[in-house]
Amino acid sequence: MRDGKSRIAVVGLLVMVGLALGAPSRLASLHNISYANLWLGRASAAEAHASAAPTDAQLKTALQKRLLVPDPGMITLGAPSPGPITGMTQRSVTISNGQGQNLELKYFTTANSDKGILTHEYVVFDPANPWARADLKSLHLNDRATLGPASARVTIIEFADFECPYCARAFGEIETLVNTTYKNKVRLIWKNFPLGVHAWAQQAAIAAECARQQNPSAFWTFASSFYRDQNDITPQNLRAHVDQYASAAGLDGKALNACILSDAAEA
């Protein structure tokens, strides 16, 4: 967002890393979905042109095949609604494995079309306004871990999960950018966004927040350490890692423990 002298970029670093929808041989690599043409499998081109839009049952069957979903019953279609472009219709596509894990997609088509576009994320782009304004009023940006001066002309808001491997890769890039490449020119604001499908991410976020409350710079020590040790951490040994990081950062272990056990950091 450009507003006077400031420019704010909201960067979503959370990447859906796949949803296990059945046996290992039937895993759906849904995180790779971008803009993919969905062919609904008509018997012939002539029949396709003569046909109207597919029924919900036909669409579910096609989506099942396209996304390698074991059971079409795991797919829920939302009601059609006007799309972002005149003449286009959009529908939500929700895939659930029955274990509380859901993935949301969008299906776009035009009237009476037997083909459509399936996408995980999309952005409506206006060439007349390339620096699209992002409404930050709903984001709580105070009392958060930050790097760089408040006066920086560029602010990056990072949403991340300590158990996410893609977040770990991005963190190294962004931290270098803020601390070295554009030192004192960029500000980073961190937003914890632990995914429910990750076993220890939320507890790690709570521990890092408690570390920040004692010493703001300790948060970044915790973040770097969680990402460095990501492959070795389990729910069972997470606390041992937290204690090790706290000791290295010179934090008060008893105060940290009290914070972790309270509701304040989680809130």
Q: Quick one: pLDDT at residue 137?
A: 80
Which residues, including other chains, have CB under 8 Å from residue 94's CB and lie 6 or more apart? 75, 76, 78, 102, 103, 104, 105
At 51 the pLDDT is 53
CATH superfamily, region 2-14+130-261: Glutaredoxin (3.40.30.10)
Burial of 213 (0-12, 13-18, 19+ CB in 10 A): middle
How many other C-beta atoms can be found within 10 angstroms of the C-beta atom of residue 171? 21
> What local confidence, expressed as pLDDT, does residue 101 receive?
77
Positive or negative, the CA dihedral 163, 167, 168, 174 is negative
pLDDT recorded at residue 6: 42
Checking DSSP bridges between strand 146-147 and strand 186-192, what pairing results, if any?
Answer: antiparallel
Alpha-carbon distances, residue 244 vs 102, 169, 202 (angstroms): 35, 23, 18
Query: Chunked in runs of 10, what are the mean pLDDT values of the chain (267 residues)?
Result: 41 34 34 38 41 83 90 92 90 86 89 84 80 76 91 92 95 92 94 91 96 96 96 96 96 95 86
Q: CB–CB of 119/33 below 8 Å?
A: yes
Cα separation, 258 vs 252, whole angstroms: 10
Beta strand 6-12 pairing with 154-160? parallel
Q: What are phi and psi of 234, to 5 degrees?
A: -130, 165
Q: Would the CA dihedral through 118, 124, 125, 128 be positive or negative?
A: positive
Distance of CA 88 to the CA centre of its chain: 26
Compute φ and ψ for 142, nearest 5 degrees.
Answer: -85, 160
Six-digit token string for 194: 């632990």
Domain range annotation of the chain: 2-14+130-261, 24-119
- State pTM to two decimals: 0.58
